[in-house]
Structure 1
Amino acid sequence: MNPRLRLLPPVEMDPEQRKLYEEITGGPRAAGPQHFALTDDGGRLLGPFNAMLLSPALGRSLQELGAALRYRTGLTARVREIAILVVAQAWDSAFERHAHERVGAAAGLTEAELLTLRQGADPELSDPVERAAWTFIRALTDRSGALGEKEYAAARAVLGERTLFELSTLAGYYGTLALQLRVFAVPAPPP
């Protein structure tokens, strides 16, 4: 399927779009190690970020939430990337999978763990926090957020309420991105 949105060159952006563009390309995503490209060679935003320019006020709020989830939670990098990759697999989101398998590898996920997460299988994580996070996110993505009392109690006992809030917010955010990527037929970059 061909992309449905034209990548917007910076020279064609209105002032609000340009401000959002600068926040994305000059924010924490651009400051740290680059595991996937935010822009193409022409400076045009890739992935979900190009669509955010359609509505800069909403796009700004969305990208700020994403930055908060990536850089201002109590989640370890491995837990965060495991959760994102479960959402990517559940939504069959090629762009999210492409981007976050690279981030996940940098966070210490092994090639075997990445493959297992890509397949939607149990990665048999030995760390109890990682295991509880994987189980929790799988339950949310497998059943549209339905979580029984026993599952909630088990997740809460290991993760605590703050982490449950952060993980459920992460699942909702990356589910939103996956939906937008699908609506606008955004392809994953070539390997």
Structure 2
Amino acid sequence: MRAWARCVGVRLVVHIAAKGGKSMRMGKGMTPEQKELYDRIIDDRGKTGAKGGFAVTNDDGSLVGPWNAMVSSPLIGGLAERMGSFCRHHNKCPADLYEVGILVVGAEWLSQFEWFAHEKLALKAGVLPEAIDSIKSQAEPGSARGMTPEQLAVYTYARELHSTKRVSDDTHQKALAAVGGEQALIDLVFTMGFYHQMLGSGVGPWFLFLGFGFRV
């Protein structure tokens, strides 16, 4: 497992060029395959958005975030959507812990949309605002505040994996105990890899980070 995590780590990075791409609006020239995927995203992510308190479509019916790019290429995009759905609905890692991992990825990419959505979902899952602020500021694990011991173990694992592309035996064992087993830890790493795939640079507007505006 340690070797697998070290090899996979954050290599699952694929830039999805949503910036400047064509917006897919319901019924506006979509193929049947695109419409099927559009409807699937609306049905699944719409429920997630309602729970988290954010919309998944713009006023014109186009999808927000990276989902327009998925619909533009429905075969491969549909597989990506399926993986995202499995990461959310069939994850052996507890929700508060995989949300910590997702937010670490969001902080790495300075992604506005990811924070807009997953800060709310993390709060719903039980991650405290103080902990979210620590993740956003990329605080060193020893300085992070507001986390449960399990959340801190996952945060330490995610930060170490991102900064060194590997994890120590001690960090691995603590994260393994925190999430509850090997499958849960593998699911966490797959989930972080999926969000790297979705959060390539150039996919978001201004992200306010520690009081400064960064373009992503």
* TM-score using structure 2 length: 0.76
Structure 1 unaligned regions, length at least 5: none
Counterpart of 2:163?
A: 142
Does structure 1 retain, via aligned residues, the 8 Å contact 2:70–2:76? Answer: yes
Counterpart of 2:31?
A: 14
Counterpart of 1:68?
A: 86
Does structure 2 retain, via aligned residues, the 8 Å contact 1:47–1:188? Answer: no
Query: Hey, what's the Cα distance between the residues in 2 that align with 1:4 and 1:187?
Result: 12
1:129 alignment partner, one of 132, 141, 150: 150
Does structure 2 retain, via aligned residues, the 8 Å contact 1:87–1:174? Answer: yes
Does structure 1 retain, via aligned residues, the 8 Å contact 2:87–2:191? Answer: yes
Structure 1 residues 20 and 128: alpha-carbon distance in aligned structure 2, compared to 1, 3 A threshold: same
Please state which structure has a larger fraction of its residues in helix.
1
Identity score, percent: 30
- Bigger RCO of structures 1 and 2 (CA < 8 A, at least 6 apart): 2
Give the superposition deviation at 1:124.
3.4
Structure 1 residues 116 and 71: alpha-carbon distance in aligned structure 2, compared to 1, 3 A threshold: same
Does structure 1 retain, via aligned residues, the 8 Å contact 2:128–2:147? Answer: no
Structure 2 unaligned regions, length at least 5: 1-17, 208-216
Q: Secondary structure at the match of 2:59?
A: coil
Query: Hey, what's the Cα distance between the residues in 2 that align with 1:6 and 1:95?
Result: 18
Write the deviation string for residues 50-93 of structure 1: whole angstroms up to 9, x where unpaired: 11112111111111111111111122221121111111001211
Structure 1 residues 154 and 25: alpha-carbon distance in aligned structure 2, compared to 1, 3 A threshold: same
Write the deviation string for residues 87-135 of structure 1: whole angstroms up to 9, x where unpaired: 1001211211111111112223222222221111143355332222111
Structure 1 residues 66 and 86: alpha-carbon distance in aligned structure 2, compared to 1, 3 A threshold: same
Deviates more, 1:29-38 or 1:44-53: 29-38
Does structure 2 retain, via aligned residues, the 8 Å contact 1:8–1:50? Answer: yes
Q: Cα RMSD over matched residues?
A: 2.2
Query: Is 1:78 equivalent to 2:99 in the alignment?
Result: no
Counterpart of 2:41?
A: 24
